[in-house]
């Protein structure tokens, strides 16, 4: 419910969609020396279905300068950094409406920035795969033939 200016010392709710129930997240703040610290309020576990908005509470500590600070959402369960954003610590914050929740189009509809399967070089991929398979078979055949020749030269006695 806030724009870039976020109130310090108040509980803020980060709403995220696409989480897996039981996953633990942390909201972290980067200090002026580049170190990250956890500003999550609570345990950070979400229990929502992936298509529901989950809430991760956090608070900006008092005493920060009113300059943009980096915040990040980190998935503690698998240590991935999900997203990074800027916030300006403020005494009162700057109320703003929440962005609408993203609703994906039906399966099969193209999303902006994606390519259709018609743009995929299917024939080139098949040729490369065939080349790899033929090369692998040839390599194994040569290796087996070399082993048979060594056994013949040794009078039928194995290499070992």
Give 4-27 pLDDT, tens digit per residue.
999 999 999 999 888 899 999 999
Structure-model confidence comparison of residues 82 and 86, the more confident one = 86
What digits encode the pLDDT tens for the residues 58-74? 999 999 989 999 999 99
3-state class (DSSP) for residue 148: helix
Phi-psi region of 11 (alpha: psi -120 to 50; beta: other; left: phi over 0): beta
Please give the Cα distance from 9 to 59 (Å, whole number).
6
- The β-bridge relationship of strands 80-90 and 5-7 is parallel
What digits encode the pLDDT tens for the residues 131-151? 999 999 988 888 888 777 777
Residue 146 phi, psi dihedral angles, 5° rounding:
-65, -40
Enter the pTM of the model.
0.63
């Amino acid at each position: 419910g806030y724009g870039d200016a976020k109130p310090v010392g108040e509980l803020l709710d980060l709403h995220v969609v696409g989480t897996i129930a039981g996953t633990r997240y942390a909201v972290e703040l980067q200090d002026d020396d580049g170190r990250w610290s956890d500003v999550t309020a609570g345990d950070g576990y979400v229990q929502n279905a992936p298509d529901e908005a989950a809430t991760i509470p956090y608070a900006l500590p008092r005493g920060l300068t009113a300059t943009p600070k980096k915040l990040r959402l980190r998935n503690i369960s698998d240590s991935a950094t999900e997203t990074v954003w800027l916030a300006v610590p403020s005494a009162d914050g700057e109320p703003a409406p929440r962005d609408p929740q993203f609703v994906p189009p039906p399966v099969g509809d193209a999303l902006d920035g994606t390519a259709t399967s018609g743009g995929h070089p299917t024939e080139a991929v098949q040729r490369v795969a065939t080349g790899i398979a033929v090369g692998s078979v040839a390599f194994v055949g040569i290796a087996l033939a070399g082993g048979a020749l060594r056994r013949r030269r040794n009078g039928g006695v194995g290499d070992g």
